[in-house]
Structure 1
Amino acid sequence: MTEKLLVRVLRLSGVKPDRGGLGPRIHDIRHTFVANRMLAWYREGINPQARLPYLATYLGHRDINSTLAYLTITNELLQMAGARFRAFGAHSLHVEGVDNETD
């Protein structure tokens, strides 16, 4: 019932064509929600790993494995995760006496 209502709203708004399976689906909205939630946690300085069980529960999943399928890695998310790793963990990879710079 919810899916039919969403399809109707999307068609009335002109986002989805009148016929066929083209256009956004309810699962596309879930993917967008998860990606945006992860970005918001990074922006707020929150550890997303600690929050994944809450997100899984919110989405109706028993564990985070199903939730991870909805996580779309965007350039912005990848950059934020990389920056956090460099700030908090990259120093652990330094080996004394080895030049770690890349070309």
Structure 2
Amino acid sequence: MEWNGYKKELVEKAKHYIDLHYEKNITLKSLNKVLQKNPYYIQRSFKEVLGLTPLRYLHQVRINKSKELLKKHTYSITTIGLEVGYNDSAHFSTKFKEQEGITPKEFRKQILK
């Protein structure tokens, strides 16, 4: 298998793991244990193949999952943040606003209009 194909395969495995376990505390160290690859190699491969880091991808997955919950449930913002893997609502709101340009509360208001 060509080298670039190997990196893509590694990144797909990492993405798959993140997609399934996004609510857990995923770090390069935990990806290293799962994928049996050097954490810095995982980081570089991810950045090279997808143009973003594993952590950035994790945040995207979490925010997308939280948007589904905000649309379908009346859970509090704090509960949703905890549900998708954030330790507190402030961190969740910060990451949500970074990605979406609005807070989770504002997002929910737009949906309910």
Larger Rg: 1
Structure 2 length normalisation: TM-score? 0.43
Structure with a larger share of its residues in helix: 2
